[in-house]
Structure 1
């Protein structure tokens, strides 16, 4: 049952459950059995400390692991609705940046063979994030053994490892990176080729694509990759006080949509199901300063 949780969810729930156990200990309650009023009192205490809706909802979800169906009580649902109305969840931004800003900056980092490993690492990762619209977690799982050149026109990458959206009967990510001959300086496939070549003698037995550009050149975490992307955005002129590394998904999918890419292609490329409404609700943003294939629609903005 614990294996049903991802590592990040486990860490998040762990702190919530510790808070619940401490609360029950102080009030002499059985932490494995609790009435609805006790649960609401616990969540109210978290609310009064200034917690937002998402934090309180995380505590509620964590408690459901211990207490089961009691969390489905209408009174708790009413309480959570009240929390939402008092402290509504708001998106960090209702607009996104133009990928052309970042692409033009990366175009200046050329030719790839002359770049040091630090710059080439960040350029390769940021291009991948833009032309695939996948999460950093997904990109951190790319392995050399799953990269192949299927034709002179593209590189394909299989990612069999479990990701955030993995579930029974769902498809794993299959990334397709074009050799973008119109602007080779921002070609993601050429970047990967040069990156693999430059790290070949450094990676030892590491099969993961992205490794540290500092010794001992070991596999890097998704948090480190997020820092790489954020650094690139900042150097490009994107306001990183507002936009995080994850905003590449917003920027890429919104741009593809405005370029006329079919919504089904956008969903498939970014890893959403055919019936998912996530893009329409959260990712379809207006672009500040305002093709048939997703990656090329992003790269074409630089022409």
Structure 2
């Protein structure tokens, strides 16, 4: 393989198949059946596979330029590759760590590099990168949820809202009072929904970002907020389901497009809706993206002295360290959690 480009960059479905072939290469030629290789490759989530392919392509190009075999390179070559990512490409600790993980999978069959990710020299190199350029949270501070709630309170009455505006308001309310990821909101289904007098519960069985062996799926509860119906997620959710009933046909996904053919929306669409609301509320969307709703809502709840276990349960975090390090920011029931977030809004007549 020396001196020859080991892959070609395809597009569309051909490109996706090319990605899978790159990840399958370490297992080929070892007497394994295609279905066994499929399972081994599936150990990585789709998003992880895309990240790994990016790193592996860089590794293969590095080996090509160094005139070494990308499959049988030694530990010295791996260290020099990681060093090039740090010094030449100025990549962050997180990006370099992803490359390390990708090589651990890609070179897993090489006897010398059986555990490249845990090799003492690689571990020491990563520690050096961490100490020299420690990872930083995306936001030093976070926007005040009151600014968004004040905007949403103006979008009334719910019965007169267009489907487009109702969609925007509902998805923002749901994001803030639940602190769920956009991915989770996109997975909500009306055929996995339980309605009671004061709450609507969704059961999510899909594989989520925080899913792991022994912990899959989740239950997302949206409680009524009788204190201010203008911010009540249950009343808006009920209205949304009524309005979309005649449009969705057999579509069971909660959020559908407000334009024909009214099909299930993507994660990117929901992110765009959230960002649109943030922009309308005067939030700097060049700085704060849709994911910032999690930091904004959990930080608001913490400022209202909501117990940390309520916050962790609502957001799906297992460790308080995750919240404190990446989400708890100073600010420029579910019950407890949702009501506290909503009550942080500045009361107006």
Q: Could you state the TM-score of these two structures normalised by the residue count of structure 1?
A: 0.93
Q: Tell me if the contact between 2:207 and 2:216 (Cα under 8 Å) persists in the aligned partners.
A: no
Whole-angstrom distance in 1 between the partners of 2:166 and 2:271: 15
Deviations 1:178-215 (A, max 9, x none): 12111111111111111111111221221111111122
User: SS at 2:222's partner residue?
Assistant: strand
- For 1:295, the equivalent position in structure 2 comes to 338
User: How far did residue 62 of structure 1 move?
Assistant: 0.8
Whether 1:192 aligns to 2:226 is: no
- For 2:82, the equivalent position in structure 1 comes to 43
Whether 1:282 aligns to 2:330 is: no
Deviations 1:225-257 (A, max 9, x none): 111101101101112122111111111111111
Structure label with greater radius of gyration: 2
User: How far did residue 276 of structure 1 move?
Assistant: 4.5
User: How far did residue 171 of structure 1 move?
Assistant: 5.4
Paired residues for 1:1-303 under 5 Å = 1-47=40-86, 48-68=88-108, 69-149=115-195, 151-170=196-215, 172-273=217-318, 275-288=319-332, 293-302=336-345, 303=347
Deviations 1:16-59 (A, max 9, x none): 11222233234343323332210111122223023222222221
Q: Could you state the TM-score of these two structures normalised by the residue count of structure 2?
A: 0.81
Whole-angstrom distance in 2 between the partners of 1:282 and 1:119: 31
Q: Tell me if the contact between 2:103 and 2:116 (Cα under 8 Å) persists in the aligned partners.
A: no
Whole-angstrom distance in 2 between the partners of 1:85 and 1:172: 36
Whole-angstrom distance in 2 between the partners of 1:94 and 1:296: 25
Whole-angstrom distance in 1 between the partners of 2:45 and 2:192: 23
Whole-angstrom distance in 1 between the partners of 2:226 and 2:44: 43
User: How far did residue 136 of structure 1 move?
Assistant: 0.4
Deviations 1:67-123 (A, max 9, x none): 241231222223223333443322222211111111110111111121111111111
Structure 2: which 5+ runs fail to align? 1-39, 109-114
Whole-angstrom distance in 2 between the partners of 1:5 and 1:191: 37
User: SS at 1:175's partner residue?
Assistant: strand
User: SS at 1:95's partner residue?
Assistant: coil
Task: Return structure 1 stretches of 4+ with deviation > 6 angstroms.
Answer: none
Deviates more, 1:248-257 or 1:276-285: 276-285
Whole-angstrom distance in 1 between the partners of 2:96 and 2:57: 14
User: SS at 2:344's partner residue?
Assistant: helix
What number of residue pairs does the alignment pair up?
299
Deviates more, 1:20-29 or 1:3-12: 20-29
With CA pairs under 8 Å and 6+ residues apart, which has the higher RCO, 1 or 2?
Answer: 1
Whole-angstrom distance in 2 between the partners of 1:187 and 1:123: 11
